Amino acid sequence: MNMRIEADSIGTLAVPTEAYYGVQSSRAKENFAITGTNLHPELVKSLARIKKAAAVVNAQSGNLTAVKKDAIVQACDEIMAGYFHEAFIVDAIQGGAGTSANMNANEVIANRAIEILGGRKGDYRIVHPNDDVNLCQSTNDVFPTAGKMTVLQILPELIAELEKLESALGEKAEAFAGVIKMGRTQMQDAVPTTLGRTFRAYQSFVKRDIRHLMSAAEEMKILNLGGTAIGNTINATPEYLENITAFVSEEVGIAFTQADDLFDATQNVDGFVRVSAAIKTAAVNLSKMSNDLRLLSSGPKAGIGEINLPAKQNGSSIMPGKVNPVIPEVVSQVAFRVIGNDLTITMAAESGQLELNAFEPIIFHSLFESIDCLTHAVATLTANCITGIQANEMICYKQVEESAGIATALCPTIGYQKASAIAKESLETGKTVRELVLEKGLLTIAETDSILDLKHMAGIPAAMWLRDKVI
């Protein structure tokens, strides 16, 4: 392999002649062989968008020649189109607060610009990674800005999948509105409800999670770009400081604002904590629902058996005919991962010191993974589980009719003590509450039918009582 020699402040290093990356990227690859995972593709594109906007602003202020600007812009456009991503060789988790990622971008863009201008890669007299591509910038404002831009690029897909899930749950809530079932508290029979209300409650939390995510995303629109090293704008020209946020906004199509306090925005990363918290909350809710679906579908003969989940694969290598709730299971596993990532993000944010948080690489790696994984989990939950759920109406009704829990409705008429005795005897003898009330002559048939009307107890609207699907 042909090599070229590049130099940095540490010394010289051989780099493959045709490589778009340079000496600093090469050292980072050697130093940080951590995860085997490179930078998120959207983070790479975000870095290119920033570099493009910076080149345009610097050229307009006379600090970068038009020739260099055009070459840098073309290189950035190509990266944004998906080219040269293989040249981004640094690990997603790295020391240096993202310097390696920033320099990887600077070197790739510089070498591609040099190539565009007819030079040989590594001839930084033509276009320099630091002096030209990184002009008026620091890793400490570029990298967090790129992280926020990336969140705003990938979060909408998660929100879109949650919206599909919300719609699917709403459809099930409508379909199951007349299905009477037993409500349970602490895994014990409580009072009747409907399967529709169960799914309506799921729909409600998804709506709430969408609102939380959209609200948290607003934190990502406040940038420290122009603050450079610590927020004091050192090496940034007045023209750059004044215009860079607007140019980035135009490039990305999102209305960003420059932080009022660039020092605060450079050293504190609580905005990412807030986004992660919203994602974790959604994951927790989805896992709780997944646990419910597993319980409600348990059996089919020796469990609750109120619903049937779509059969997606054989459930056992030894037990014939067994079908497991594999989709809810994978959703819960993703939730566990998201919760772990949230803790990582929380600790990384807390561990920042003085004027800079050095741990943004692990924050971004964890946050992007949470968003991507949860997006895919929600998509498979909707398509492979929710839309195919069926209700076992007769089982649901039978469980309510035979439950001692309906004795609760007797309390206002015969008192708590007598109702409690009825419930206890029902459990001991297997007789229904209705049978015992009539047997003991506590109420007339008409009174019993009225008080123990399951449709009324379940809160089914009277307008639905005559529907064929309502038992």
- Tally Cβ neighbours within 10 Å of residue 171: 14
For tokens 């879109």, what's the residue?
160
Q: Is the peptide bond before 300 cis (omega within 30 degrees of 0)?
A: yes
Identify whether 316 is a catalytic site residue: yes
**Cα separation, 469 vs 179, whole angstroms:** 8
- Which long-range contacts (C-beta less than 8 Å, at least 24 apart) are formed by 313-318? none
Q: Are 355 and 231 in contact (CB under 8 A)?
A: yes
Q: Which among 9, 100, 287, 316 is annotated as catalytic?
A: 316
> What positions carry a catalytic annotation?
316
